[in-house]
Each structure stands twice: as C-alpha cells, then as structure tokens.
Amino acid sequence: MEEITCEYFDGINAIPSNGKLFIESQGLRYISENELSEEMILFKQIQSVEKVGISYNIKIKTQNAGISPLIVVKDLSSFLEVFNHWKASKTNPFSRFFDLFLKLSLPVKVVSSILCVGLFVALFLFALGWIHTLIPTSMDEKIGSYVSTKIIEKKEECTNQELRAFLGKSVSILNKPGNNWNFKIHILNDNEINAISLPGGYIFLYSGLIEDSNSPEEVVGVLAHEMSHIEQRHGIRQLVRVVGISFLISSFIGLGADTFETMETFSEVFNTIVLLKYSRNFEKEADLGAIQKLNNAKIATTGFIEFFQKFDNLTSYLSWISSHPADSDRINFIKENTSKEKKLSTIFQNERDNWEQIKMGCQHD
C-alpha cells in the first residue's frame, strides 16, 4: 500500500495529530503516529483537494455540519493519481465495464465485440421504426413548405382550373374523415412522368404524367399513393434514416428557414426527400394505403394497376421508376389487396368522358 505522511485536524482540536495515510481501493486509511487511532476515509467523503503553498489540504465531509476534518500532506502525487481515477470511474459508468473488458482474453473480446455490435445494430433498426413519432408533425409542414417553395422557384406551375378542380375533387374523395393533413396539390409544367410527395401534405404531379395517362383513375391511383406516403410520414422517416439522429435532435431545438439556407443542409434534405427512392417497405405501405383509399371510395384499382403496367416503357417512365420501383410482385400485391366487390364507375364518369381534353389542360394554360 502507498504510504503518505500527513497531519490530521479532527475539526475539534486546533492542534493536529501526525500520522500516515494508506491508499486503498475505496479510499484512504489514516493511522496516527502512535497507532492509537485509526480511521477509514472513503473517496466519496472527500469534499475537496486544494493546494496551499507547498502543501495539499484534503477536506472531509461528515454527517455533523459543524465539524470539518482536514488532512494536510506535502506529497500528494500518488494519492491524486488514485483519486482522479476513482472520480473518472464514478463519472463515466462505462469505465468499469471497459476495465473488465480489457482483462478478458482475446477470443472472448472478439466474441463480445461481435455480440455488442449486433445488439447495437438491432436496437438501432428497431428504434428507426418508431423514433419519428418523437418529431412533432409541425416539422413536416415546416420542411415541406420550404422544399415546396424551392421547387416552385425552379419549375413552372400549371394553373389550369379544370385540372385543379379534378385533383381537388379527387383529394376530397380519397381523404379519410378525421385526417389532420392538409393536402396541397401542385401541377408542374414538365414533360417528365413523375410525382413527388413532401412532408406536410405537399404533392407535385408533373403534367407529363397526367398527359400520358389513359384515364382519370390512373392519376387518382398515383395521387392516393402519394397521399399515403405523407400520412405515414415516409419523408420524415427517410430523413431520420439517412440524415441521422442529429436531425431528430435538431427538430427539438427548432429548425427554421435560416437553418435550411445553408447549401449543405438544404441539399441533404432535398436529395433525401425528393431524389432518393423510398425503401421497398415504404413503397408497400404506400401501395396498401392507396388501395385502402380506393376501396373505401369505391374507386376501381384497375387504373392504378394499368399505370404500373406501363413501366415496360422505361424511357418515358424513368423518373417515376427511379423513386418508385415496380415489378410483377408489386402489381400482384395491389391486385390481391383490392376489394372484390363491384366498384361504382360513375364517380369520375364526367372526367372520363372528357379525359382527352382535360388531361391536356396544361398545354392550354
């Protein structure tokens, strides 16, 4: 044991007693010079260590507020090393675990490391399924509004009243009662066959997609799909997955337009929401949500299915495919989940009768 010569003031008598300190794992053991008295001082009882001149004063905490024992030593290097190590172990709960880990044999370390990494990944993936619920929905609106503004600044918007009336009617029919999302539909004057949904209810349909459709039900199916992405907060969930948990923390601090103004931040958010394709699970969730909307509104899903079957024309549908990958399994999934009851065909009868004229509305805008 390390031995340190010291003077001990018991807090009652003005004259100190000489003795020695012995450093142990849990604290200091004081033994008087004549070995008539002995006291164990735990590290947690040490209130402070102060350098006074060439000496060090160790102040001890006691249950009696009126008594403050003091130990004065001149050589404290060994004690400080032990004491600081103890303080660090109390401050950092992982240090004890790390000390134990270092004592393990190499094979056990390797196995333990693999298990720890596997557990961390499993917990992280599990957390991704619900962690977005901690982000307030006001954040969806804030992000969607800002990205929407940037898109409209770069793209020409089609304001054809007949098309907008059709889309407004479609949203009203598809929107389930009690839904808190306020859907804002924009038509972009662009020949690309594409559609984009943003957090907060913002949906952009490209005029190329509308003009290439064979029926209003095709467009309604796509609209139902994009509405489902928004309702299930896929944009926010995508941000959490790609940008990371830091995005979640930032949302509590409060993101504003000034935060997004930095090119790096805006590019990351824009690319994640607009350009990066959703996972297969997200697309399946959106498909199922769209089917439920169409079934509830008694709208045939044939238009939705016919739209996906057009993907053989890879050139014109490249933009949509890049963010909405389709295959035969996906089409079969839609068919299998479609209600078997006969759908009413009169909901969009007027639009169907005049579809060739209505869908070309942006060209006459």
How far, in whole angstroms, is CA 76 from its chain's centroid? 49
Q: What is the pLDDT of residue 225?
A: 94
Region of residue 211 (phi > 0: left; psi between -120 and 50: alpha; otherwise: beta): alpha
Q: Which amino acid is at 334?
A: I
- Indicate if the pLDDT at residue 318 is higher than 60: no
Q: What is the pLDDT of residue 279?
A: 78
- Indicate if the pLDDT at residue 328 is higher than 70: no
pLDDT digit string, tens, across residues 21-55: 888 877 888 899 887 888 888 888 888 888 888 88
Q: From residue 209, how far is each of 47, 187, 235, 239, 319 by CA, in Å?
A: 73, 10, 21, 26, 10
Lowest average pLDDT, out of 200-204, 247-251, 350-354, goes to: 247-251
Separation between Cα atoms, residue 42 and residue 26, nearest integer Å: 6
Separation between Cα atoms, residue 249 and residue 266, nearest integer Å: 17
Instruction: Considering the chain, tell me which residue range(s) the CATH 2.30.29.30 domain(s) occupy.
Output: 2-94
Q: What is the pLDDT of residue 269?
A: 66
What's the order of all strands across the beta sheet hosting 184-188? 157-158, 184-188, 202-206, 195-198
pLDDT digit string, tens, across residues 257-277: 455 554 445 566 666 666 667
Q: What is the pLDDT of residue 244?
A: 63
pLDDT digit string, tens, across residues 62-90: 877 778 888 888 776 666 665 665 566 55
Domain 2-94, architecture per CATH:
Roll (2.30)
pLDDT digit string, tens, across residues 120-161: 666 555 555 666 667 788 888 888 888 899 889 989 999 999
Q: How far apart are the first and last CA of the chain?
A: 92
Q: How confident is the model at residue 315 (pLDDT cuts 50, 70, 90)?
A: very low
Phi, psi values for residue 168, rounded to 5°: -65, -40
Q: Which amino acid is at 161?
A: Q
What's the order of all strands across the beta sheet hosting 46-52? 38-42, 27-32, 17-23, 2-9, 70-73, 55-60, 46-52
Among 266, 166, 181, 172, residue whose Cα is nearest residue 229: 181
Q: What is the pLDDT of residue 252?
A: 45
pLDDT digit string, tens, across residues 177-213: 777 789 999 999 999 888 999 999 999 999 999 999 9
What does DSSP assign to residue 272? I
Separation between Cα atoms, residue 277 and residue 84, nearest integer Å: 52
Q: At what angle do helices 302-309 and 216-231 cross, to 10 degrees?
A: 90
Q: What is the mean pLDDT of the chain?
A: 78
Phi, psi values for residue 154, rounded to 5°: -100, -20
Structure tokens at 32: 């008087």
